[in-house]
Amino acid sequence: MLNMQLDQPVVINTRTTMWQDSPAHGVQRKPLAREAAEHGHATSIVRYSKGASFPRHEHPFGEEILVLEGTFSDETGDYGAGTYFRNPPGTGHAPFSTDGCTLLVKLHQFAPDDLTPVCIDTHQTPWQAGHGGLQVMPLHQHNEEHVALVKWPAGERFVQHQHYGGEEIFVLSGEFIDEHGRYPAGTWIRSPHLSQHHPYVEQETVIWVKTGHLHADAT
């Protein structure tokens, strides 16, 4: 078990951690949170080398992926860098990558009634105006859970705020900063229910962010 105390904050710079081999040849992972080795709740950075594939498998509690680099493929199509998709509970596939790819992957974390497939090319989706100078790209919403990309212009400061239901961030570019530290690109941050901070940036920064999914009774 790894980082499964969801009421505790976690910060991991994934660019400085070591790759670990998976059961599939050519597929490596950097575990961020994991309930068990090959099943249950898991959040990981996953890398497919050129020509690597993973055997067909099912997702009884869903799979969420953001393609960070390269092209990820399965029997339904090819998904380039910037693609965000959700495979709902009960789906399955046989993934592979012809030229190699790197992914942010979250498994076994869907609400049972969250059954809407999602596939968004974030490089082709327009930004929307957010608070202050922020730009927002909504990706998914179900009950209290919200997923989006947020673009921060250089020098932007956000108001002090509290995270009801927690907050999870992956820094895609630039550097995210708050009173607790500095988080360069590749950093994964999980902040528990009712945590708070006063974030800002010094350079243009883009983050993937999920809120509302880490509840008060999470353990």
Contact 210, 24 (CB under 8 A): no
Enumerate the domain spans of the chain. 10-120, 124-211
| 110-138 tens-digit pLDDT | 999 999 999 999 999 999 999 999 999 99
Cα(123)–Cα(17) distance, integer angstroms: 28
Cα(176)–Cα(181) distance, integer angstroms: 9
Cα(22)–Cα(61) distance, integer angstroms: 20
Whose structure tokens read 């883009």?
A: 206
CATH code of domain 124-211: 2.60.120.10
CATH code of domain 10-120: 2.60.120.10
- Please check whether the two domains, 10-120 and 124-211, share a CATH topology: yes
Sign of the dihedral through C-alpha 144, 67, 14, 88: positive
Cα(125)–Cα(153) distance, integer angstroms: 18
Give me 110's structure tokens. 């869907």
Q: What confidence tier does 218 reach under pLDDT thresholds 50, 70, 90?
A: very low
Q: Is the pLDDT of residue 66 over 80?
A: yes
Which is more confident, 59 or 96?
96
DSSP result, 127-145: PEE-STT-EEEEEEEETTE
Contact 169, 188 (CB under 8 A): yes
Q: What confidence tier does 156 reach under pLDDT thresholds 50, 70, 90?
A: very high
User: pTM of the prediction?
Assistant: 0.96
